[in-house]
Structure 1
C-alpha cells in the first residue's frame, strides 16, 4: 500500500508533459503530493489522499485503495457542467472554483490537458496566458 501523497509515476509523467508546455510553470512538492504553479498560484495539485483522514474521498476508492486526485481551477461558468455527471469529476470542498478529477486507467488525458491549460490561463498573468499555444 502506498503512503498518502504518493502519486503513481505514470500519472506524474503525463502531468509533467502537460505542464512543461505552460510558460514559466514550475513543479514543487506540496504538503501532500506534487503541485504545479505559476508565480505563487497553484495551477494543478495531484496527490493520493488518506480517505480515513479526508472522508470526502472515501466514495472514490479504487479496488479498495485511495484514489489519485488532481485539483485545478475551473471558470465558475463551467464548474457545474464539468461536475454535474459525477465521476471522474467533482467539486473540491475548498474554493468556489476548484474542481477535482479522479485519475487512473479511465482518464481522458486530452481532456485533462485542456483542463490544466485552462486552469493555468486563469491563474497566470495575462501576458503569460496569451503565450499558451503559440
Structure 2
C-alpha cells in the first residue's frame, strides 16, 4: 500500500515538475524571441511578416533575391526586396505593400471606405 501511495506522490511531482519546466520553457522562449527581435540584423523583418516576406528575406540571404532602393521625388528613399525572377507587376505590388506598411506604422491602422463617399453621390444622381 505504501508503494502505491508513493507512486501516486511521484506522479504528482512529475506533473508539478512538468508544469514548472513548461513554464520555464515558455519564459526562455519568450526571452529568446525578444532578444532576436531586438537584434539589429533582423531590423528588415516586418512587424507582422507574411510567409512571402520571410521567403523573400531568406532568398535575399541566399542570393536568389535582390534589394532595390526606390528614390521618391521628395528625395527620400526606401528599400524593397523582390525575387530575382520577379516581374514588373511583382515589383509594383512590393512597392505598394511597403508604402502601405510605412503609412500604417506612421499613422496607425487606416482604412478608407469608398462606399461612404460614393453612395451619397449615387443617391443624389439617381434622384435627379
Highest Rg: 1 or 2?
2
Q: Which has the higher contact order (CA 8 A, sep 6+)?
A: 1
More helix by share: 2
So what's the TM-score if we normalise by structure 2?
0.27
